[in-house]
Every structure is written in structure tokens, then in C-alpha cells.
């Protein structure tokens, strides 16, 4: 663990159930290799995870069983350890590669920017060699300028102890937001390729493993499942997924299942199959809270014999990197906790309400447009994490808002049209999220990813969810999107997952936390600033007739689409301009906090 990280709180735990074949799974770690320094439940770091995998592998192998380690992508963007260095990821890749990962693949965040995907290709793929699978991603090789596979399309191997013959694939969902130096083939098309058909017809296979940065309930995985089933009947298939940042476990049939292991190093997913070759293989899943209390419990070890030298050294590497990046530097102190979706929006504890009532009105400004009102539109997915009461550090800056998008604007838009654009972006028709042809699309580009799981309505135990949601919406006037289990004062709050195997998947027995729906975008009307020195800003209670429509440039394609539907005659990007040169949402938030959140006894 990192110095200063909080000790885990002892809790009642459910055991893991070992099988002859066992897996540890991470996904959507987004640079959180130091663990959570403000949350005891998730305070273990990548070094501790290395110790866990080593100890569990030792124990499995001593019984003649196998253990495989899997990661399903989005390892970058979302934490100071990755985002605050120059170049980004200066320390991350060396730390990541310390864990012997047996199978890994790319997420969408590895592909948003040219330099990220090129680093993936030139550094991370070689670090993991043939374990890195890219079944549907190509990249323009920066050396040859040729389009080549990002990594091998599949991996065939035999497990060390049981000798299971495995064929593994590694997919990315049908992502369309990648930079133009990469090509993502639709999964539904990739499975029709001859290399895939040959691979699934290989007779010398006991088990297929499909890993992917793909939600476990998705059209993409349905297509892979169907293709393998059609070719190979009842052969066991184990899927590992991610992207929606949720814990989830789907049973597709008696011989296949899919595990999703959360986000941000909160969860280490465990899965076992016993026995792959039997007529009725038994699958067992567990979502392990990422802390030493859980790790000691599941290995039967303790603080004197759990950590390996290698694990401890990696914790030191992380500590050194955090120190070099000055991640503990305090910019200010939050007077209270602000939540992404653990409180209704709008409300005084919502990070979005804080943004739209305080940060944006006081920070969005273009002196050249001082006489004009602005409607600032920020996508809710641009905010990645909660802000906890207390010190707001250099690390927190990137945890909350890691992206490098600036602000652009369309000038002099009729205010009614601007409001219509916002309404469309937030619309129930879901034209920007899902369509009639693809109601369960994995791509929902505006809101935080966990919201997409709820938007697509494609969750476990749907009937129970629906009944519950109807009841709670009536009670609270706003949709709550998680199920509550009985709350019990002897438990502290945390994940209480309901999946296709029931409600006993989490290792730690928690009391439940409610999650609420948030819109795709939040609009903030900013009244004109005075152009005269010393004059007060104009106070306008009246609605403006026109506004500058200001937005984070990441959402420009969706603004363009909504503008078209709203009858606004603009051609983007030609008709838009930079609103605040070189300023990102991250800068705005950091500067506002420096000015407004002083540390004193009450807040630090
Ligand atoms: O530059 C960016 C990139 C992404 N976003 C937001 O993030 C989600 C995707 O998050 P995942 O971790 O891949 O699930 C996307 O929907 C956007 O809302 C962003 O705002 N800016």
C-alpha cells in the first residue's frame, strides 16, 4: 500500500471457491495503480495485487490447479499517475508490466489519441508480447506508415498444471471515437473473418476465453457467443468484459458466462471453473474489494507473510513516481463531499450542481465576447470521480477531470435553439446513445460509463430492477439506478451487486449505496460580463435572445448532430471557434479550487 493510505475496515467476508481453473481479472483501471488514498475499501496498490496474484498462483499450483491473470483495458486516463506526467504514462507502463498478465487487450481510452495508441503499440504490446490480443484493432505503424494489427489476433496455449488447451480472443466494443491512426473493426464483422473461423474450428481446444473491453451484456458478445456456439456446440466459453465500470456477471448458458470487474482498482474479479472438461462445469465468481484485509483473508496469510519482495518493490516504484509527480501537492480543501451519481442531480451534494452554479459561471469567460451571454454545455462523462471532503491534491485534479479537451463555441445562437440542442442531447429518444437497430449499444459517448449500463436497460434481473426503479422513482422523484439490499447498521457502505448468479457476489458484505441517473450534459447560462473596468457584471434575470453556445470540444460531433436536428444552420467545425485558448475543464476546476477552497481546520 502507499504511505498514508487508509487501513481497511474489518468486515464480514464471503470466501472464494477455487476450481481447477482460476482467474483474477482487472478492468478499467485508468491509472489507479496506487489504489485509493481516500477510501479504505480500495486502498491496496498494484504492488499488493502482484503479491495477491503470486500467492494465489502458488496456492493453486500446489494443488495442481491453474491461475490466469487477465486485464481488459482502459489502463490509461483518469489518475495523476498516468495523466500528470510529460509524456503521459512516463511511469505507468513500467509499473504495469511488473504484473505477469496472461491475457490482456485494449480499451477505448488507449485509442482516443494518436500518441496513446502509438505508445500502446510501441511499448505496452512489446511489454506483454503474445499475451496482448487485438482481435479487431489495427494501427498505422508509426515506423512503416502501414496499417497493421495492434497485436496478435488470438492466442492458443496450454495451461501449466491441468494442461487445458485454450483459445483466447481479445476484442474492443464497436467503438467509433478513435483517432484516425487506428481502425476498429465491428465485432460482428470480425467474427466472420477467416482467421476467426479457423480459430474457432480448431479441434484441439478445451475452452475458449473471450476477453474484451466490451460489456458482458452486449450485442458484441452476443455475436461472439453465437458464432462459437454454432461452430462448437456446448464447448465452455468464459468471457471477461468491462467498459461500463460496473461489477456484473452474466450467465449465457450452462457452459458459458461473462465477468465484469468494476473500475479504478476498486475490484479484483475472481472466477473459477470446475471442471472445464466435465459435462456440467461449475462456474463461481467473486468481486474482491481491493484492500489488504480481503487479500489476507483469501490467501489465508497475514501482514508478516503476504507481501512478496517483488510486490513491495512495485509499491516503492509507485511511491517514487507519485513523489516525482508531486501528486500529494494540495491545491485546496473541499468543504464537503461532492458526488458524481451517489446523490440526486441537481442537489447541493452533486458535483454537477457545483460545476453549474459555481465553477462554470465564475470561470467561463472570453473577453472578446464580454457583452454576450453564453450557454456552456459540459458532458457529464467529463467528470470521472467524486470529490471527497478534505485535501484536493494534484492527483485529485486528474482523478476528477483528466481530459485535455478545450472549449469551443458557436456565436449568436438563438437561445431557444440552444436550449433545444441541450434537450436533444439529453433526450429520451436516445438518438445519441442507442438506436432502434442497436438498442443495447456499448457506445454512449456523453455520460459516465456506468450510466450507459442503465441507459441501455440491459442489466441483470431486469424485472426486479424495473419494479424497484418504478417504486423508488415515485418516492424520490428521480430514478435511482441501483438496487438496495436490506441496509444493516453493522455493515458499512459499498457495492451490493446483483447479477445473474444472485446477490452474493461481493466478497465484502456491505450496506448498499444508491446511485442516481444523471443527464448526458449539463447546461449553464452565463450572463454577460461588463466590458468597463470597475463596473459590476450585468445582472440579467431576463432570458437572452441569443447566446454563444460554448461546449467542451470532445462533444462537437454531437453538438453538430443536435444542431442539425434543431434547424440551426451551422457546419462544424468550420463555424465554431476556440472560446478560451489553451484552457481545459481540468484547468478551470483546478484554478477555481485554488481560489475558493482554502484549507482551514474545518476542511483539511
Ligand atoms: O476526451 C474524453 C474522453 C472520454 N470522455 C467521457 O468518458 C466516457 C468514456 O469513458 P470510459 O471509461 O471509456 O467508459 C465517454 O462516454 C465520455 O463521457 C470525455 O468526456 N472526454
Tell me what pLDDT residue 539 has.
Answer: 55
Q: Whose CA is nearest to atom 14 of ligand 1?
A: 449
Q: CB within 6 Å of ligand 1 — which residues?
A: 28, 74, 108-109, 112, 243, 379, 381-382, 403, 405, 445-447, 449, 554
Tell me what pLDDT residue 458 has.
Answer: 52
C-beta separation of 417 from 196 below 8 A: no
5, 45, 47, 89, 391 from 312: Cα distances, Å: 15, 10, 6, 21, 27
Residues 21-324: name the CATH superfamily: Metallo-dependent phosphatases (3.60.21.10)
Q: Whose CA is nearest to atom 2 of ligand 1?
A: 403
Element (H, E) at 421: helix 415-425
- The model's pLDDT over 395-408, given as tens digits with 9 standing for 90+, comes to 999 999 999 999 99
Ligand 1 centroid, distance to 408 Cα (angstroms)? 18
Q: Which residue has the cell 480543501?
A: 333
Best residue for ligand 1 mutational test, from 82, 88, 453, 554 (most atoms within 8 Å of Cβ): 554
CB atoms within 10 A of CB 489: 6
Tell me what pLDDT residue 440 has.
Answer: 54
Can you tell me whether residue 246 is helix, strand or coil?
coil
Q: CA-CA distance, 250 to 229, in Å (whole number)?
A: 16
Q: Which residue has the cell 519482495?
A: 309
Q: CA-CA distance, 256 to 242, in Å (whole number)?
A: 17
pLDDT range class, residue 559, cuts 50, 70, 90? very high
Q: Per-residue pLDDT for 462 more than 60?
A: no
Q: Where are the domains of the chain?
A: 21-324, 330-426+519-596
Q: CA-CA distance, 324 to 407, in Å (whole number)?
A: 30
Q: Whose CA is nearest to atom 9 of ligand 1?
A: 449
Phi, psi (degrees; rounded to nearest 5) at 61: -65, -30
Strand partners, 260: 241, 248
- The model's pLDDT over 266-324, given as tens digits with 9 standing for 90+, comes to 999 999 999 899 999 999 999 999 999 999 999 999 999 999 999 999 999 999 999 99
Best residue for ligand 1 mutational test, from 29, 382, 404 (most atoms within 8 Å of Cβ): 382
Note every long-range contact of 183-190, with CB atoms under 8 Å and residues 24 or more positions apart, other chains counting.
183/137, 183/138, 183/139, 183/147, 184/111, 184/136, 184/137, 185/136, 185/137, 185/138, 186/136, 187/136, 187/212, 187/214, 187/220, 187/221, 187/223, 187/224, 188/219, 188/220, 188/223, 190/135, 190/136
- The model's pLDDT over 364-422, given as tens digits with 9 standing for 90+, comes to 999 999 999 999 999 999 999 999 999 999 999 999 999 999 999 999 999 999 999 99
Q: What is the ipTM of this complex?
A: 0.99
Residue ranges of E strands in 370-405: 374-379, 390-393
Rg (CA), the chain: 24
Element (H, E) at 22: strand 21-26
Element (H, E) at 324: helix 309-324
- The model's pLDDT over 231-244, given as tens digits with 9 standing for 90+, comes to 999 999 999 999 99
C-alpha cell at 256: 458459458
Q: What is the CATH number of domain 330-426+519-596?
A: 3.90.780.10
C-beta separation of 513 from 263 below 8 A: no
- Four-residue CA torsion sign, 219, 221, 222, 227: positive
- The model's pLDDT over 177-188, given as tens digits with 9 standing for 90+, comes to 999 999 999 999
Ligand 1 centroid, distance to 446 Cα (angstroms)? 7
Q: Which residues contact 344 (CB under 8 A, 6 or more apart)?
A: 350, 476, 478, 516
| Mean pLDDT along residues 497-521 | 95
Cis peptide before 285 (omega within 30 of 0): no
- The model's pLDDT over 150-162, given as tens digits with 9 standing for 90+, comes to 999 999 999 999 9
pLDDT > 70: what percent of the chain?
Answer: 90
pLDDT range class, residue 433, cuts 50, 70, 90? very low
CB atoms within 10 A of CB 325: 21
Ligand 1 centroid, distance to 444 Cα (angstroms)? 9
Can you tell me whether residue 186 is helix, strand or coil?
coil
Nearest to 402, CA basis, from 106, 79, 37: 79
Residue ranges of E strands in 72-214: 103-104, 137-140, 147-149, 154-158, 165-172, 182-184, 207-213
Tell me what pLDDT residue 604 has.
Answer: 80
Ligand 1 centroid, distance to 340 Cα (angstroms)? 14
Mode of pairing for the β-strands spanning 207-213 and 165-172: parallel
Tell me what pLDDT residue 489 has.
Answer: 63
In terms of residues, how long is the chain? 604
Q: CA-CA distance, 127 to 150, in Å (whole number)?
A: 13
Strand partners, 516: 480
- The model's pLDDT over 520-553, given as tens digits with 9 standing for 90+, comes to 999 999 998 755 544 445 555 689 999 999 999 9
Q: Per-residue pLDDT for 210 more than 80?
A: yes
Q: CA-CA distance, 9 to 492, in Å (whole number)?
A: 9
- The model's pLDDT over 575-601, given as tens digits with 9 standing for 90+, comes to 999 999 999 999 999 999 999 999 987
pLDDT range class, residue 481, cuts 50, 70, 90? low
330, 359, 378 from 594: Cα distances, Å: 9, 12, 21
Tell me what pLDDT residue 238 has.
Answer: 98
- The model's pLDDT over 111-137, given as tens digits with 9 standing for 90+, comes to 999 999 999 999 999 999 999 999 999
Rounded to the nearest integer, the mean pLDDT of the chain is: 92
Tell me what pLDDT residue 530 has.
Answer: 56
- The model's pLDDT over 92-116, given as tens digits with 9 standing for 90+, comes to 999 999 999 999 999 999 999 999 9
Q: Whose CA is nearest to atom 15 of ligand 1?
A: 445
Best residue for ligand 1 mutational test, from 27, 449, 551, 552 (most atoms within 8 Å of Cβ): 449
Amino acid at each position: 500500500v502507499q504511505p498514508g493510505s487508509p487501513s481497511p475496515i474489518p468486515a464480514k467476508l464471503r470466501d472464494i471457491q477455487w476450481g481447477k481453473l482460476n482467474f483474477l481479472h482487472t478492468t478499467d483501471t485508468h491509472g489507479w495503480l496506487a489504489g485509493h488514498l481516500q477510501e479504505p475499501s480500495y486502498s491496496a496498490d498494484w504492488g499488493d495485487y502482484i503479491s495477491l496474484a503470486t500467492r494465489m498462483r502458488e496456492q493453486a499450483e500446489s494443488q495442481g490447479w491453474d491461475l490466469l491473470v487477465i486485464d481488459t483495458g482502459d489502463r490509461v486516463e483518469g489518475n495523476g499517475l498516468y495523466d500528470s506526467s510529460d509524456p503521459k504514462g512516463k511511469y505507468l507502463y513500467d509499473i504495469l508490466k511488473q504484473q505477469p498478465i496472461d491475457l490482456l487487450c485494449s480499451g477505448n481510452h488507449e485509442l482516443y489519441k494518436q500518441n496513446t495508441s502509438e505508445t500502446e503499440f510501441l511499448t505496452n504490446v512489446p511489454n506483454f508480447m503474445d499475451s496482448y490480443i487485438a482481435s479487431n484493432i489495427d494501427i498505422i505503424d508509426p515506423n512503416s506508415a502501414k496499417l497493421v494489427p495492434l497485436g496478435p489476433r488470438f492466442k492458443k496455449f496450454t495451461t501449466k498444471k491441468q494442461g487445458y488447451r485454450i483459445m483466447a480472443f481479445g476484442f474492443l466494443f464497436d467503438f467509433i471515437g478513435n483517432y484516425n491512426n487506428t481502425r476498429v473493426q465491428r465485432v460482428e464483422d470480425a467474427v466472420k473473418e477467416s482467421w476467426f473461423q479457423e480459430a474457432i474450428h480448431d479441434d484441439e481446444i478445451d475452452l475458449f476465453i473471450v476477453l474484451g473491453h466490451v460489456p458482458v451484456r452486449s450485442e458484441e458478445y452476443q455475436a461472439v457467443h453465437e458464432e462459437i456456439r454454432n461452430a462448437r456446440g456446448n464447448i465452455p466459453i468464459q468471457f471477461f468484459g468491462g467498459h461500463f465500470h460496473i461489477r456484473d456477471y452474466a450467465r449465457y448458458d450452462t457452459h458459458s458466462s461473462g465477468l465484469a470487474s468494476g473500475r479504478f482498482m476498486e475490484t479484483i474479479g475472481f472466477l473459477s471453473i470446475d471442471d472445464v472438461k466435465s459435462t456440467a462445469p461449475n462456474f463461481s465468481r467473486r468481486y474482491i474489494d481491493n484492500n489488504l484485509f480481503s487479500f489476507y483473508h483469501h490467501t489465508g496469510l497475514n501482514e508478516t507473510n503476504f507481501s512478496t519482495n517483488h510486490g513491495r518493490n512495485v509499491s516503492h516504484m509507485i511511491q517514487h513516481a507519485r513523489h516525482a509527480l508531486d501528486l500529494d501537492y494540495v491545491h485546496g480543501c473541499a468543504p464537503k463531499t461532492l458526488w458524481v451519481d451517489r446523490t440526486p442531480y441537481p442537489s447541493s451534494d452533486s458535483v454537477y450542481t457545483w460545476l453549474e452554479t459555481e465553477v462554470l459561471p465564475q470561470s467561463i469567460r472570453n473577453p472578446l465576447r464580454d457583452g454576450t451571454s453564453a450557454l456552456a454545455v459540459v458532458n457529464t462523462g467529463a467528470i470521472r470521480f467524486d470529490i471527497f471532503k478534505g485535501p484536493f491534491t494534484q492527483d485529485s485534479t486528474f482523478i476528477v477531470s483528466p481530459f485535455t479537451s478545450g472549449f469551443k463555441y458557436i456565436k449568436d445562437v438563438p437561445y431557444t435553439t440552444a436550449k433545444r440542442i441541450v434537450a436533444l442531447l439529453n433526450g429520451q429518444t436516445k438518438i445519441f446513445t442507442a438506436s432502434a437497430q442497436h438498442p443495447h449499444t456499448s457506445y454512449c459517448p456523453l455520460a459516465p460509463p456506468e450510466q450507459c449500463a442503465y441507459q441501455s436497460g440491459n442489466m441483470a434481473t431486469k424485472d426486479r430492477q424495473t419494479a424497484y426503479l418504478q417504486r423508488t422513482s415515485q418516492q424520490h422523484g428521480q430514478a435511482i439506478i441501483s438496487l438496495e439490499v436490506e441496509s444493516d447498521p453493522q455493515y458499512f457502505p459499498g457495492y451490493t451487486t446483483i447479477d445473474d448468479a444472485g446477490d452474493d457476489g461481493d466478497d465484502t458484505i456491505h450496506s448498499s449505496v444508491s446511485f442516481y441517473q444523471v443527464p448526458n450534459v449539463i447546461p449553464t447560462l452565463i450572463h454577460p460580463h461588463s466590458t468597463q473596468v470597475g463596473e459590476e457584471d450585468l445582472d440579467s434575470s431576463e432570458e437572452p435572445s441569443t447566446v454563444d453556445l460554448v461546449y467542451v470540444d470532445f462533444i462537437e460531433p454531437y453538438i453538430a448532430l443536435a444542431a442539425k436536428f434543431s434547424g440551426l444552420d451551422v457546419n462544424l467545425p468550420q463555424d465554431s471557434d476556440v472560446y478560451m485558448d489553451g484552457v481545459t475543464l481540468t484547468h478551470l476546476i483546478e484554478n477555481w479550487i485554488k481560489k475558493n477552497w482554502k484549507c482551514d481546520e474545518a476542511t483539511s
